[in-house]
Chains A and B, each alone.
Chain A
Amino acid sequence: MRELVVIGNGMVGARAVEEILARGGGVMFRITMFGDEPYGNYNRILLSELLARGTDPDEDPLDADLLLNPRQWYGDNGITLHAGVRVVRIDRFAHRVYADDGSIVRYDKLVLATGSRPYFPPMEGLWADDKTLTPGVFGFRTLHDTMAMMRYARGKQRAAVIGGGLLGLEAARGLQAHGLAVHVVHAAQGLMNQQLDAQAGLVLRRSLERLGMSVHTGVRTTGVRCSRDGAVTGVNFADGATLDVDMVVVAAGIRPNIGLAMVSGLETQRGIVVDDQLRSVDDDDIYAVGECVQHRGEVYGLVGPLWEQAAVLADHITGTDPAAAYHGSRLATKLKVAGVDVAAMGLKEPERPDDEFVQFSEPCRGIYQTVIIRDGVLVGATLLGDVSKVASLTQAFDRRVPLPEERIRLLFDIGVPPPETGVAELADEAQVCNCNGVSKDQLVACVRDGQRTVEGVMAVTRAGKGCGSCEDLVADIVTAALGEVLQEDPTANYYVPCIPMDKPQLIAAIRKRGLRSVSAVFAALTEDGAEHAGSKMALASLLKVIWNEQYIDERDARFINDRVHANIQRDGTFSVVPQVVGGVTSPAQLRRIADVAERYHIPMLKITGGQRIDLLGVRKEDLPNVWADLDMPSGYAYGKSFRTVKTCVGSDFCRFGLGDSTQLGIDIERRYQGLESPAKMKLAVSGCPRNCAESYVKDVGIVAIEGGRWEIYVGGAAGANVRKGDLLATVQQREQAITLTGRFMQYYRENANWLERSYDFVPRIGLPELQAILVKDRDGIAGRLDEAMQQSIDAYHDPWQEHRHPATEGQFRDALPLVELPKVPAR
């Protein structure tokens, strides 16, 4: 395995690793992470929240909300984490990194995600010594900073926050919550002048003053005054004025951490200079990502664009998409600053004389909104105080969609329908939570997967757990999605339309009353005891799953394919697919197939996608003889049942093989052959992650990985739907793989709706739920599932043996000997 080393265990470093793992990087790389901070990765954005919440500063602040990746996550994913360890040097020529605890680690690929640190402008009295700030002076970047601030604030009266940008205002709001009188001192004229124009800055200022803050703009701080014992007592301004305070927070901007890259000989300007693949322009083996990066001249300081970078990096470093490229981000931010909603995108002011500029200001209510349009396209917008239009504006901005003639309609609904339409209009992939990179379709999927509350969805997706500005939108989307789900016709959950029960209820009723045939079920459970043709097949399948050999078979409950054990074709002839276990055949088998094909004038022989041979165009009356002469078991190519296990040549013949995929496939197919199920089940086993047997897109797909282990994927598809399976579990032994495959299939057999393929079933139940039930045995039913599966296996018999004793007279007689049917041309 190759060595991947990540320096920086902050929000983007850890996110990049998550993205890499999601692309199978856990198999390609041994991953080592260094982080200067002594914990797992936490949500830095929530520090504002933490400060404002003002919890007991001696409590453990790393509660579940704050931690994004607890220590255990690293272990679970095979990542070595050096927490509290700082990397001091990179030897690019020896491919090694040196850390301050003396450790040396070799890398094949290196990722720098060192983030930034607060910028402390030159000011008299700021520092106690080279490294230590004067007691009572703080930066606002880390958990440590935040805790120290909270501890110090106890019993203090007044604070100055130097810097009126996002961070400064957040710090100010936080300290206010601790009961301090807060002065915000800002060198520029307008607050948040990075994002807002002067007018907006003024409106914001009013809002903050209403919240009780003192705001000083256009004032440069020149020094910090201290008492005799060295603690802060006040600040001095350039105009000679002074302010007495007990503590000072410096939030005058941030600077990317580029020192390490610089001493290691990588090109740095404001940040570490990278190309479109996020690689250092000097070294193809070194990537950089996050706030420490400078890409096409831009350095980003909000997470939205950084998530995009992390995804591109992962695509490229894992080879998932070698053409992946980051082209920079158009900045659209939505924040809650000191309790005030702010959204800003693109330009903040018109730049050209013919730029259209629409401006609305209502300072008393703290509302200020602008849009800037150039050549009919939205190129900038600012919303302050009222961000109800942010969704549609972001869309107009991102996609350059046509704008309403009356520009004011961009900001206001004038005599038009209610705002709820906004949620429906929002594109599925539109990002809703910028902080945690959650899109609308992810929220909707979460509801579909069974979350029924806004809180539940927020906990699972982490949406709204950052700055919180998106909470309303998240709630709206979840509510709308819930409405759709709940409004669904209750009959949609019925297993068959004529019996008002879902599958678990129906199974319980059938068991309780001992209903062993389809006609018995109709008689007992439908409203008027009437049978219903359209429900027969589904019931027959279910009864077979429940009763196995005790099932009472009725011919009229069988689909034609199941009556004659072959697949009916367009012209009324049949296709016959004998079992070729694991796709491994022999000269004798091939010879027999060839002989049969000649003897019965089979018009077409076709190699199937499931690694078998299909004899097409067999006449119904020939079926028994064809089977007798083939003398091979049925391959079940016609039923709603277990079909095949596709295998690759695996460790026996392939030089990449990590496990004997062929034998495992054969064993699985022998064991589970022909089992009825709600829809067909196609399986595969591959000998290594190259995945030649296409295991990632099967109902159950198994892949051998390093260390003799097997990964089990479920819910994959590569038909009309394409879906990569979800990794249910990684197991040490092949026997476990066989058992778990069976357990999953039994659970699917008992719980999936009729004709519901695993690619719908797995997302419906949800992977974590499946893992809890099948792998961790949370509900204590694993043993019962295994047992039920064993009973089905024991009850199995090969249907093609019916050629000896036809089940009914005329079973294989052509229904219409005298009618000329459409002919399918033979090749």
Chain B
Amino acid sequence: MFRLRNSGLRAVAAICPPRGGLLADGFIDSQQVICPPHNHAFRLINGQCTTGAPSVRAYPMHAEDGELTLRLDTPQ
């Protein structure tokens, strides 16, 4: 789960599909996360890879009254 600088929330699967990098440790901006070992980039909104690797799963997420809700069952 990532909190963006504009306070938005995003969630994607933790492991980068091609080589098993930890997306949680990656760089983010408002659009994408970059996986540390090999610099694959994924769009936070839908998990689509912009550098030619398979996509990761993205999860809708929001905050309400201090509670974070993340839906695991969304059809992709």
CB within 8 Å of B: which residues of A? 519, 530-534, 536-537, 556, 559-561, 563, 568, 570, 572, 815-816, 819, 821-822
Contacts and interface: CB of A to CB of B under 8 A. Distances in A.
B51 to A, nearest CB: 10
B25 A815 contact: yes
18 contacts: A519-B5, A530-B30, A531-B29, A533-B29, A533-B31, A533-B33, A533-B34, A533-B41, A534-B27, A534-B34, A536-B27, A556-B27, A560-B22, A560-B25, A561-B36, A568-B37, A815-B14, A819-B15
Q: Which of A533, A563, A819 has the most CB of B within 10 A?
A: A533
Contacts of A822: 20
Contact of A815 (B20, B24, B29, B31): B24
Interface string B22-58: 1011111111111011010100000000000000000
Contacts of A570: 20, 37
Nearest to B25: A560
A808 to B, nearest CB: 12
Nearest to B27: A533
Contacts of A519: 5
Interface of B: 5, 14-15, 20, 22, 24-34, 36-37, 39, 41
A537 B20 contact: no
A560 B33 CA distance: 13
Contacts of B37: 568, 570
B26 A556 contact: no
A816 B24 contact: yes
A568 B20 contact: no
Contacts, number: 55
A816 B22 contact: yes
Contacts of B26: 533, 560
A780 B28 CA distance: 41
A561 B37 CA distance: 10
B40 to A, nearest CB: 11
Nearest to A537: B27
Among B24, B27, B30, B39, the most chain A Cβ lie within 10 Å of the Cβ of: B27
Contact of A531 (B20, B30, B41): B30
Of A536, A560, A563, A568, most B-chain CB atoms within 10 Å: A560
A532 B25 CA distance: 16
Contacts of A561: 36
A572 B25 CA distance: 10
B62 to A, nearest CB: 21
A572 B14 CA distance: 12
B25 A568 contact: yes
A570 B31 CA distance: 26
Given A533-B32, A534-B34, A560-B36, 5 more contacts: A533-B27, A533-B28, A533-B34, A568-B37, A815-B25
Closest CB pairs A-B (n = 5): A815-B24, A560-B25, A533-B27, A531-B29, A533-B29
Contacts of B28: 533, 556
Contacts of B30: 530-531
Contacts of A572: 22
A568 B29 CA distance: 21
